[in-house]
Amino acid sequence: MSIKDQNAFWMPFTANRAFKESPRMVESAQGVFLTTPDGRQVVDATAGLWCSNAGHSRTEIADAVSAQLRKLDFTSIFNFGHELGFEYSERLVKYTPDGIDHVFFGNSGSEAVDTALKVAMQYWDVRGQGQKKRFISRQKGYHGVNFGGVAMAGLTPNFKTFGQWLMVDHMRHTLDIERNAFSKGLPTQGVEWADELEELVTFHDASTIAAVIVEPIAGAGGVVLPPEGYLQRLRQICDKHDILLIFDEVITGWGRTGEAFASTEFGVTPDIITSAKGITNAALPLSAVFVSNKIYDTCMEHAKAPVEFFHGYTYSCHPVACAAGMATLDIYEKEGLLTRAKTTGEIGSYWQEGLHSLADLDQVIDVRNYGLMGAVEIRAPKGQAGTIGPKALTTAWEKGVMVRGVGDAICMSPPLIIEKQEIDTIVSVLRDVIPVIA
């Protein structure tokens, strides 16, 4: 039966009708390569969905998962525990910035975001400031698809229909192509966008605001970088007004920027960090919310009931996912992957130079990059804004590279194991693709 005849599957975030007419199928994956059913090799320039950081189908993870499934496939984590979960938690918090030494588990980035918002609310509640329930997020932000996350969303299609549930206000995004086009690494212009937070705090009053949530680098919004000093300024404003700062590191975590977390790379410590995707190399669903000692201790000391936090998922701290996570950390450590993306390093700088070599194409109006992330922004023909991304995705796929299209940007985040020749392939395919699509 062909895919055209198999209509049961309602695919997520996909143009279902178009896809079923012209499917792009993946049969297997190994390292940086995907293989299609007709045997074509495609370079995965997106690490799946910003997540297969150590490359695909890692035997070490498969073995760990298989062994765990045979030993302890599941146990309730409400009122019961398993040693692996405690051991894994201790290991995980060694990667987080100093002072963030606690972890709450979920299964997806979306669950991590909603958990983080609830942690913030819980913290203010036990401090006797339960009226602090408003959040400030940012345009172009993506925080998953659960009800908390879509309220935070700064992408119109996600927010407009579904996101009107929490009290939230949005700061402006930091994409400023006019001033910052072709920046290598962090753009130098735009730190003042952070001052919008000060204005919003004045407008709503700090006594109503629980937390600010941003991605250190906005991924799904099109690889939007923070200008130099911008995140530091957000931190200062939050401190000044006693507002929590949440970094959504679902994409930027686990080596994407050249450190385990962008918080460390950028030298800004939030109060809460969300993490998922690369935490298990995407082999199994698992997410984590890392919480500062200040928040955890306050929630424990001032708890209003024996159960300190009425929150959790059946599969929080799933033992099989923990086993996948442990094996993933082994790989990251053994292969030095968490710092491999650094732009000062060989691969990170090769990536930067490769992407920026496309700047000579007429259609390219911006190239931006950090660590092993990058976007090439294309000038859309008049009246056709937003049409380039989908065309880039399909054309690049046909020519042997998987990319993401966001608006008119071609977005990429290859596995951290990528080598120079695969970067060359990506760049040369894009050089062919760009003139065809714009």
| Residue ranges in contact with ligand PLP by CB under 6 A | 108-110, 113, 142-144, 215, 219-220, 248, 250-251, 276
d(CA 111, CA 274): 9
Phi-psi map region of 95: left, alpha, beta (phi>0 left; psi -120 to 50 alpha): alpha
CB of 365 to ligand PLP, least distance (A): 24
Cα–Cα distance list, 409 to 60, 150, 200 (Å) = 35, 22, 29
- Min separation Cβ 379 and ligand PLP, Å: 26
**Is 180 or 287 the residue whose CB approaches ligand PLP more closely?**
287
Beta carbon of residue 384, minimum distance to ligand PLP (angstroms, whole number): 26
> Residue 70 Cβ, how far from ligand PLP at the closest point, in Å?
27
Distance CA 172, CA 157 (A): 17
Choose between 136 and 438: whose C-beta lies nearer to ligand PLP: 136
| Least CB distance to ligand PLP at residue 240 (A) | 26
How far apart are CB 203 and ligand PLP at their closest, in Å?
26
When the beta carbons of 288 and 434 are compared against ligand PLP, the nearer one is 288
Residue 422, C-beta contacts closer than 8 angstroms, at least 6 positions apart: 32, 43, 414
State the residue number with the nearest CB to ligand PLP.
109
Closer to ligand PLP at the Cβ: 224 or 326? 224
CB 245, min distance to ligand PLP, A: 15
The two three-digit tokens of residue 160, written as one number: 């407009």
Q: Measured from the CB atom, is 220 or 416 closer to ligand PLP?
A: 220
Closest approach, Cβ 112 to ligand PLP, in A, equals 7
Nearer to ligand PLP, 251 or 331 (CB): 251
**Residue closer to ligand PLP, measured from CB, 354 or 415:** 415
Question: Between 112 and 380, whose beta carbon lies closer to ligand PLP?
Answer: 112
Judged by CB, which is closer to ligand PLP: 125, or 259? 259
- What is the residue whose two structure tokens read 């062994």? 67
**Residue 143 CB, nearest approach to ligand PLP (Å):** 5
For ligand PLP, which is the closer residue by CB, 135 or 142? 142
